[in-house]
């Protein structure tokens, strides 16, 4: 099936708060954020380093990374196009007692407001399917990450086989109706691993690998 694009960002504060409440109270998603943060940390971030979270939303992954690296002098920066989401991210960080180690920036991932080689690690979760043109963003990641830096980009994948779609349908039955639409929109707007490999091969990002999960895809560039 062809990719069906989804809107770039949640702009309205009411919708953003609903998203924040649902995802923040979903123990399965919260465990996913913790696992992703642990993997990012395991890739290796030096003391005093900087981490960028693209499409940070309510900041769940950025906060988990900051929690794991608390005391190491690492700065975590969350980037998002939605001021509403960044407001909620700051609130969540304050509740977690970690706002001092996190910075929230509004901006477009296609033209990020950062210097070349500013970050030791770039991470993104559940944002890739919003990228109508991933190539410029992959090039921007290559620009802002250090030569020996790494990245981890995780997202859903477009489900073209019967069993993954059936499993996704079962999961969808457990999701409230207003979120079920967004859930399927995310899946249908996601990229396949083959599509991502083709785009990455044209990018300036080097040393990447595409890992194929049952219902997700992860792009990994290890630190050297």
pLDDT of residue 7: 66
Lookup: tokens for 108: 């477009």
How far is 113 from 105, CA to CA, in rounded Å? Answer: 8
CATH 3.40.640.10 for domain 13-221: no
What would the mean pLDDT of 195-218 be, rounded to a whole number? Answer: 97
Strand partners, 152: 123, 220
66 by DSSP, 3-state: which?
A: helix
The per-residue pLDDT for range 35-52, each reduced to its tens digit, is 999 999 999 999 999 999
Q: How many CB atoms lie within 10 A of CB 32?
A: 19
Report the predicted TM-score, pTM, of the whole model to 2 decimal places: 0.94
Ranking 13-27, 72-86, 118-132, 192-206 by mean pLDDT, the lowest is 13-27
């Amino acid at each position: 099936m062809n990719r069906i694009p989804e809107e770039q960002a949640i702009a309205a504060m009411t919708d953003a708060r609903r998203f924040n409440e649902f995802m923040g109270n979903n123990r399965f998603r919260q465990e996913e954020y913790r696992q992703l943060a642990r993997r990012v940390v395991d890739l290796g971030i030096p003391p005093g380093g900087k981490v960028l979270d693209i499409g940070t939303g309510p900041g769940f992954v950025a906060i988990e990374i900051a929690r794991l690296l608390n005391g190491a002098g690492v700065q975590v920066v969350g980037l998002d196009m939605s001021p509403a989401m960044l407001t909620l991210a700051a609130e969540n960080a304050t509740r977690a007692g970690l706002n001092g180690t996190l910075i929230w920036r509004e901006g477009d991932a296609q033209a990020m407001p950062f210097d070349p080689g500013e970050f030791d690690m770039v991470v993104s979760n559940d944002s890739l399917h919003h990228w109508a043109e991933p190539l410029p963003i992959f090039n921007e990641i290559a620009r802002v990450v250090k030569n020996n830096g790494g990245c981890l980009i995780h997202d859903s994948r477009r489900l073209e086989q019967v069993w993954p779609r059936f499993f996704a349908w079962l999961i969808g039955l457990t999701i409230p109706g207003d979120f079920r639409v967004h859930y399927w929109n995310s899946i249908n707007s996601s990229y396949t691993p083959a599509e991502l490999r083709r785009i990455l091969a044209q990018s300036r990002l080097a040393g990447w690998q595409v890992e194929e999960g049952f219902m997700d895809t992860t792009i990994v560039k290890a630190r050297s």
